[in-house]
Amino acid sequence: MNAGTIPYDAAIVGAGPAGVSCAVWLARLGLQPVLLESGDAVGGLCRSHPFADEWNASLPGATGPEVAANLARSLTQAGVDTRLSSRVERVDAMALAADTLASGFALRVAGLPDPLYARHLVLATGVRARALAQAENTALRTRQAGHCPGGIPAGTASVPQTDGILTGPGSHIVAQDFRNKKIAVLGGGDNAFENALYALEHGARTVRLFARTVRAQRQFVHQFPLDAVTVGDYVVDAQARTVNGQPYDLIMVFYGWEPCTRFAATLNLRRSARGFIATDQATAQTSFPGVYAIGEVAQRQHPCVVTALADGVTAAKAIQARVEAGR
């Protein structure tokens, strides 16, 4: 392989709003992108929130799945080479020649016998909900490992749900029957309070919220009964499904998010203080030349569809400038 034979200007990993936006813009700018998505459809997290997207002033009333369908339409219109069910398992940087122009990346994609080569790499793999086993320091850690050996597989945006334990927000919460259940909610952020309220409104018998500290916005905290909140340390036994020794029918875990980046471990990318991929504000470039990180994986701005779309444009323009400058 030499620089002239690398087929793609950029490989974008992840077809959520950030990755789609970047791929569409690259195609419009006359470059050759390939978009790789581990799931069987385009849209990322938008596919798993069935509610109206109220953060996007340009699409009043549209739901997450409708936003996802629009993203898929944009890809088709732009003629982007989109590969679904294509989980990227590993990325290696290649130094092809003495000149810096001749850099590139080899991507190992599940199911493909040979690597896929691209001149630039864009990480748009989003986040997954942080699971109980990674955040607790009780016996739980070893017990839960049995459910998900080695943790969550690379490229799995959502956490596998286990019996009686629901992790993170999304469609699995909507699908849950809360009626007459005794529920413990773990976490002190917006998601914990919003989903605790949701369970109460959907027939739960009791909901107790456990928070080491409360960080949620007041609008959510004030709606939830104060006497049903325990603030401070607590002990969870996932197998027995108890919190502080009390049994629950269901434990709901809202411990924040972590970036899906295991496949890019060889690049040793610099992280932000909160563990996301660190990027340059103006270009979305990471600490590795030719590698960009956009959307939630980098948490560059307030995480939502609109900022993810904007991030995609930022990276596409930066890649175009790099190609034109011949670097």
Ligand X SMILES: Cc1cc2nc3c(=O)[nH]c(=O)nc-3n(C[C@H](O)[C@H](O)[C@H](O)COP(=O)(O)OP(=O)(O)OC[C@H]3O[C@@H](n4cnc5c(N)ncnc54)[C@H](O)[C@@H]3O)c2cc1C
Residues that bind ligand X (CB under 6 A): 13-19, 36-39, 44-46, 49, 53-56, 87-88, 124-126, 154-155, 157, 169-170, 260, 263, 295-296, 303-306, 308
Output the smallest distance, CB 84 to ligand X, in A: 9
Burial of 58 (0-12, 13-18, 19+ CB in 10 A): exposed
User: In this complex, which beta carbon is closest to ligand X, that of residue 169 or of residue 243?
Assistant: 169
User: In this complex, which beta carbon is closest to ligand X, that of residue 157 or of residue 204?
Assistant: 157
User: In this complex, which beta carbon is closest to ligand X, that of residue 96 or of residue 110?
Assistant: 110
Output the smallest distance, CB 145 to ligand X, in A: 22
Q: Which two tokens stand for residue 314?
A: 């930022």
325/273 Cα distance (integer angstroms): 32
78/54 Cα distance (integer angstroms): 27
73/62 Cα distance (integer angstroms): 15
Output the smallest distance, CB 152 to ligand X, in A: 11
User: In this complex, which beta carbon is closest to ligand X, that of residue 243 or of residue 258?
Assistant: 258
Burial of 158 (0-12, 13-18, 19+ CB in 10 A): middle
275/59 Cα distance (integer angstroms): 32
Place of tokens 């504000």: 281
User: In this complex, which beta carbon is closest to ligand X, that of residue 136 or of residue 258?
Assistant: 258
Output the smallest distance, CB 44 to ligand X, in A: 2
Do 206 and 183 contact (CB within 8 A), yes or no? yes
Output the smallest distance, CB 82 to ligand X, in A: 11
Output the smallest distance, CB 262 to ligand X, in A: 8
User: In this complex, which beta carbon is closest to ligand X, that of residue 14 or of residue 104?
Assistant: 14
User: In this complex, which beta carbon is closest to ligand X, that of residue 36 or of residue 118?
Assistant: 36
114/98 Cα distance (integer angstroms): 25
16/43 Cα distance (integer angstroms): 4
Do 197 and 223 contact (CB within 8 A), yes or no? yes
Output the smallest distance, CB 244 to ligand X, in A: 28
Neighbouring-strand partners of residue 292: 122, 285
Q: Which two tokens stand for residue 279?
A: 């990027």
Neighbouring-strand partners of residue 151: none
